[in-house]
Amino acid sequence: MATIQQQKIRIRLKAFDRRLLDTSCEKIVDTANRTNATAIGPIPLPTKRRIYCVLRSPHVDKDSREHFETRTHRRIIDIYQPSSKTIDALMKLDLPAGVDIEVKL
């Protein structure tokens, strides 16, 4: 049995700021819908928490510590049946500097 392979673009977004990430997702989904492609998402992935423990004192008092954390928010958007117009519109899209984007075909 032969199955038809459907074209799909998977976009993974990462950011420290959740609001920047959500606005970027909205822009991508709007662009995909404007060019007659089917956009599914944004699908939220688990947030990665990274905790750093630092000694407050430079010499003694090991019991006195300070904790810092970074949270990396992640989202996935799948775009089905993309046309060349969709890809061109996504390439021209201006997204904020704090958002990391990975695109897989």
Tens-place pLDDT, residues 26-83: 999 999 999 989 999 899 999 999 999 999 888 888 888 899 999 999 999 999 988 8
Write down the pTM of the prediction.
0.81
Edge-to-edge, what's the strand order for the sheet holding 8-15? 38-55, 65-80, 8-15, 99-104
| In-domain check, residue 1 | no
CATH assignment of the domain containing 51: 3.30.70.600
| In-domain check, residue 97 | yes
Number of domain units in the chain: 1
- Domain, as residue range, for 15: 6-102
| In-domain check, residue 49 | yes
